[in-house]
A and B are shown apart, each in its own frame.
Chain A
Amino acid sequence: MTTALDPSPAGASVGIDQLQVMLNHIDQLPTLPAVACRLLETATSEGARAADLSALIENDPSLTAKILSLARRSHLGTRAPTTVQQAVVVLGFRAVRNAVLCVKVFETLGGASAAPGAELATSLWKHSLATACAATLIAEAAGAKDLGGEAFVGGLLHDIGKLALLTCVPKSYVRVVRRTEERRVCIVDAERELLGVDHTVAGKRLAVRWGLPEAIVSVIWLHHQTPEALPTTVDAGHLVRIVHLADHLVRRLRIGCSGYHRTATVEALAGVPGIDGARLEQISTQIPLDVEAHGELIGLNDVNAAGLYAEALADANRELGRINTELAEANRRFTIRERVFDALTGFTGSVVPEAGLADVWLAAAECVRRLLAVSSAIGFTCHGQQPVLHLGISSAGGGRTDVVPFEPAGCRALHTFWPGKPTTLTGGLVEAAGLGRVVAELYAATDDHRPWWMFPVVRAGRAVGAVAFPAEHESLQEAAIPGDEWDTLADAMALAASFARMRASAERTSEELADAGRRLHDAREEVSRVRSLAMVAQMAAGAAHELNTPLAVVSGRAQLLVRSAVDEEQRRDLNTIHEQCLKCSEIVSELVDFAKPAAPQPQAVQVGPWLERLRQHWRARHGGQSARITVKVSDAMLRLHVDVAQADRILEALLDNAVLAAAESDGQVLINCPGPTSDETAVISVEDHGAGMSAEVLEHAVDPFFSHRPAGRARGLGLSRAYRLAENNGGRLWLESSPGHGTRAFVELPVFRDSCAEERVGTPAPKNVYEKSCDEQGRDRV
């Protein structure tokens, strides 16, 4: 009676509703035929008589035939029994009853057909039968002879649940049994998982419906409980324990299929007093014979003792084989894991806390090289956004690190592996791609055409680096090391790499911090210098206006007096007064000019001619001076973009100082323009071999009115003004000097580029009446 319903495919757990459905189906199994019920009643009730029994049997012809044949076979006497009554007498009440039960139950539930699971059903029957026989024997041996009949019934029906389930849902039940075999779990668990009920519950329900006696119901329900666990309130506890022992015994003998693979005979034995191990052994040998006898009765034709033994052996062999395979597999995995752990230990051992990024990858490469037994491997990563590879190259002869740039555009075209970007690669080995390809191309020998593979170190979906190596075996046994093991390695390597990277960043940050601190210090000094210059400038401007007025009065009065001068001498004196006033005013003008230089009007100035003109101008003015000025220009056509007048003043100030210093030494001054230092600037230096300046003097050289020369000093504004004018024109001025080695003054000025032509201020020279009315020294032109 198979139903169309089978629970959901293997693996699905069963819900409450499905359980209910299952139970309903069980409830729909056919009942035992009347004769069997009656038989059961008579078997267990008091005062059962052979006559009743024979009457029952005679009602059923097939049954009669079977009983008679059984009697004939077991009879070893004179006349074979011809009537049932005789058979009953011969066989014994109990045996006949047992036999009939067997037959009837088998008919109800067995019925070998072509249904799936027919083989399973047969196996289950064998087991039940064997248990029945064993239970009877045990009961007799334990001195509970009166329980013998019930023991038989109990043994026969104890696994009735399995048969019931098999009949209801044959396909699923076959699956259950298979799962039990594959996974070596308890069949009860498998049944509950796949079907929702186990065979004890199903059996119990069926038994209750069939109206089986209490004792039998208990057996069916509780036959899996260990003796200790059996509640003492249960009736027929003794019976249950007997059947339990019988079950285990039969399992040990591997007769039929019970779905169990574990036997706990010893514990079961403890539950049944009166039996010892030796007796059990005797029973064991008896069981197959009994089974053979009964088996024939119910039509299990292939049941004979020898067959049973053979089956048992085969089953045991299969079992053994399976265990062997599992062990071999586990062994293989553990061997691999051991290798991986060795490699990992080697890796972590060789990475020191101070290791740099490349060192970590060298260790990684070494680890992979040893693990895969290749001759060389290269660990690489790239750090941040710079297209630079940090490499660790490991080979049999040793290891080294390297840092090489690569072309990021070319790499992006290969765009499957880029450290830092999320990657679809996972652990394990892949063909070298992306940066791996770049490394392969860099480091493969020219005649070496082996394919390159790589192990990407991926952590949380992001690649941090990889180890690339040339494949030396035909098929790289990636399968030799499973993915999880690679993941373990990857995790360790990624961790070490990230530490190294963090350390490197921290170092760089601290260096930058130190550098920033230095630059801040320099900037602060510069700011304070500029501020002091600005203050001087302001002061100068303020003074200028104030001073000029009284100077004008003095000079004006002097001039007026000249008109009424008495003699030449007086006139001369008065003129002197006038001139000195003008000189005072000049000082003031210089200060003002220094404070706020005029906006530069830059032009293209050719260096060669300009410097030469300066030199000649100087000689014309200071013909008596002893210094010899040499002009050295490497590119005479180089053009500067400066205000000519201001640039003149800068160079003149520098020349003043240089000539003065040179006059005290070898008298040589060199004006040198080696050429543009960059696209935008060129440097001119004025060098002398004079006494030089100490560091302290050098620091204050540009300060206004500072002069370390005690006598014959110029006004003291020369260098300061040159400094300001240089800045005004978009350049810089600085000095290098050391005592005894002379001084070099450098002025950096912008270079004239063609683009400057458009930038030039388009306004014409303003109507600067002041310049018109005064000559260079601010004296009014006469």
Chain B
Amino acid sequence: MANQRGSFLTKSVFTTGEVASICRVSQQTVIRCFDSGRLKGFRVPGSRFRRIPRESLLAFMQNNDIPLDELEGNRKRVLVVDDDEAIVEMFTELLERDGRFDVYTAQTGYDAGMLTQQYRPDVVLLDFKLPDVNGNVVCRTIRSKRELEHTRIIIISGVADPDEINDLMDAGADEFIKKPFNIDNVISKMVDLLAI
């Protein structure tokens, strides 16, 4: 079961049986929802089998207020974005040790974008100065996507110009943390934001 759950966390396409398991409803219900169009999906070409993509399952569950624990697990997904490897490694170790987080990392703005799209993290720890694009832009981009509206953004940066900080807040960041920082402080902030 744990294995299954683990794979649920990463699977991208589900069968109706899996959906039923995740949503704790009968398979028949799932099929009915599928057929009526409330649960979007597709049929395997050349067969009657129904398949449900992750996004539509997620949307369905959200729409019907079904807890997402089975699908997502109760670990929060964190995306750490920083061009400095040492920082990234440190964060990864810190967060995984904590146990409540699943950590994804990116070192450029582009990677950050790809990963955000793919994993829809709960919180992004974003460095302000990235090699390819300004953290400001990343922030705004994330905020502009409706499906990412629940993502929290924490800017972590060495530069502490008050004007720039204000700009970032206006761009949609939720918190700002200055390097070097107190790790307990960071963790507690994340916890507050995610309301764990």
Interface residues of A (CB under 8 A from B): 541, 544-557, 559-560, 578, 581-582, 585, 588-589, 592, 596, 598-599, 766-771, 773-774, 778-782
Chain A residue contacts of B179, Cβ below 8 A: 548-549, 551-552, 585
* Chain B positions 19 through 62: 1 when the CB is less than 8 Å from some CB of chain A, otherwise 0: 00000000000000000000000000000000000000000000
Within 8 A of A (CB), among B143-196: 156-163, 165-166, 169, 175-185
Q: Could you say which of A551, A554, A592 contacts B160, with CB atoms under 8 Å apart?
A: A592
User: How many angstroms from the CA of A599 to the CA of B162 in the assembled complex?
Assistant: 10
Question: Assuming A545-B129, A552-B180, is B158 touching A767 (CB within 8 A)?
Answer: no
A585 and B162 form a contact (CB under 8 A): no
In the complex, which of the residues A556, A588, A589 contacts B181, with contact meaning CB atoms closer than 8 Å? Answer: A556
B178 to chain A: closest CB distance in Å?
6
Selecting from B71-79, B82-90, B102-110, the interface stretch reads B82-90
User: Are B180 and A768 in contact, with the CB atoms below 8 A?
Assistant: no
Q: Are B86 and A773 in contact (CB under 8 A)?
A: no
Chain A minimum-CB-distance residue to B174: A769
Could you tell me if A780 and B181 are in contact, using CB atoms closer than 8 angstroms?
yes
Distance in Å: Cβ of B39 to nearest Cβ of chain A:
41
The interface residues of chain B lying within 8 Å CB-to-CB of A774 are: 178
Question: What is the distance, in angstroms, from B103's C-beta to the closest C-beta of chain A?
Answer: 14
Total interface residues on B, using CB and 8 Å? 32
Cβ B158 vs Cβ A560 within 8 A: no
Q: Would you list 27 pairs from A and B whose C-beta atoms are within 8 A, ordered by A residue?
A: A541-B161, A544-B158, A544-B159, A545-B157, A546-B158, A548-B158, A548-B179, A549-B82, A549-B179, A554-B180, A560-B90, A578-B180, A578-B182, A581-B180, A582-B180, A585-B179, A592-B159, A592-B160, A592-B161, A768-B165, A770-B162, A770-B178, A773-B177, A773-B178, A779-B182, A780-B182, A780-B185
Docked-complex contact A782 and B185, CB < 8 angstroms: yes
Cβ-defined contact, A778 with B158, below 8 A: no
B93 within 8 A of A: yes
Question: Which of A552, A585, A598 has the most chain B CB within a 10 Å cutoff?
Answer: A552
In the complex, which residues 108-147 of chain B have their Cβ closer than 8 Å to any Cβ of chain A?
A: 129
Q: Would you call A549 and B169 a contact (CB within 8 A)? A: no
Which residue of chain A has its CB nearest to the CB of B87?
A553
Q: Is B94 located at the chain interface by the 8 A CB criterion?
A: yes
Q: 10 smallest A-B Cβ distances: which pairs?
A: A548-B158, A552-B179, A555-B180, A552-B180, A553-B86, A548-B179, A780-B182, A545-B158, A551-B180, A556-B90
Q: A560-B94, A581-B180, A778-B178 are in contact. Are A552 and B169 (CB under 8 A)?
A: no
Q: How far is the CB of B150 from chain A (nearest CB, A)?
A: 20
CA A27 – CA B182 in complex, angstroms?
139
Q: How far is the CB of B96 from chain A (nearest CB, A)?
A: 11
User: If A548-B179, A548-B180, A554-B180 touch, does A560 touch B86 (CB 8 Å cutoff)?
Assistant: no
Q: A560-B94, A773-B176, A782-B184 are in contact. Are A550 and B86 (CB under 8 A)?
A: yes
Rounded to whole Å, the gap between the CB of A568 and the closest CB of chain B is 19
Cβ distance A585 to chain B, nearest Cβ, rounded Å: 6
Complex contacts, B178 vs chain A, CB 8 Å: 548, 585, 770, 773-774, 778, 780
Given A552-B158, A589-B160, A769 and B176 contact (CB-CB distance below 8 Å): yes
Closest-by-CB residue of A relative to B89 is A553
Q: A766-B166, A767-B169 are in contact. Are A556 and B177 (CB under 8 A)?
A: no
Q: How far is the CA of A544 from the CA of B177 in the complex (A)?
A: 15
For residue B159, which residues in chain A have a CB less than 8 angstroms away from its CB? 541, 544-545, 548, 592
Tell me the smallest distance from the CB of B186 to a CB of chain A, in Å. 9
CA distance A780 to B182 in the complex (A): 6
- Closest Cβ of chain B to A775, distance in Å, is 11
Cα distance A249–B88 in the bound complex, in angstroms: 144
Q: How near does chain B come to A557, taking the closest CB pair, in angstroms?
A: 6
**A556:B94 contact, CB within 8 angstroms:** yes
Known: A549-B86, A770-B176, A782-B185. 7 other contacts (CB 8 A): A544-B158, A560-B90, A585-B179, A769-B169, A773-B177, A774-B178, A781-B185
Q: Across the interface, which residues of B come within 8 angstroms of A592, CB to CB?
A: 159-161
Q: How far is the CA of A118 from the CA of B90 in the complex (A)?
A: 144
In the assembled complex, which residues on chain B have CB atoms less than 8 Å from the CB atom of A549?
82, 84, 86-87, 158, 179
Chain A residues in 8 Å Cβ range of B156: 552
Contact residues in B for A553 (Cβ distance below 8 Å): 84, 86-87, 90
> Are B184 and A560 in contact (CB-based, < 8 A)?
no
B162 & A555 in contact (Cβ 8 Å cutoff): no
CA distance A394 to B175 in the complex (A): 87
Please give, as numbers and ranges, the residues of chain A lying within 8 Å of B93 by CB-CB distance.
Answer: 560
User: Across the two chains, which residue of chain B brings its CB closest to A582?
Assistant: B180
Which residues of chain A have C-beta atoms less than 8 A from B86's C-beta? 549-550, 553
Residue from B84, B160, B162, B185 whose CB has the most chain A CB atoms within 10 Å: B160
Cβ of B180 and Cβ of A556 under 8 Å apart?
Answer: yes
Chain A residues lying within 8 Å of B180, measured Cβ to Cβ, are: 548, 551-552, 554-556, 578, 581-582, 585
Report which residue of B84, B90, B157 has the largest number of chain A beta carbons within 10 angstroms of its beta carbon.
Answer: B90
In the bound complex, CA of A769 to CA of B175 (Å): 7
Query: Are the CB atoms of A556 and B169 closer together than 8 Å?
Result: no
Closest Cβ–Cβ distance, residue A390 to chain B (whole Å): 59
What are the residues of chain A within 8 A of B161 when measuring CB–CB?
A: 541, 592, 596
Instruction: Please name all residues of chain A whose beta carbon is closer than 8 Å to the beta carbon of B82 when the two chains form the complex.
Output: 549
A485: min CB distance to chain B, Å: 81
- Give Cα A779–Cα B180 distance, bound, in whole angstroms: 9
Partner of B162 from A552, A768, A779, A781 at Cβ < 8 Å: A768
In the complex, what distance in Å separates the CA atom of A778 from the CA atom of B185? 13
Asked if residues A766 and B162 are in contact (CB atoms below 8 Å), the reply is yes
Specify the chain B residue showing the minimal Cβ separation from A553.
B86
A550 to B184: give the CA distance in the assembly, Å: 18
**Chain B residues near A589 (CB, 8 Å)?**
160
Q: Which residue of A lies closest to B158 (CB)?
A: A548
User: By the criterion CB–CB under 8 Å, are A769 and B87 in contact?
Assistant: no
Q: Which residues of A contact B177 (CB under 8 A)?
A: 773, 780
Known: A545-B129, A549-B158. A559 touches B182 (CB 8 A): yes
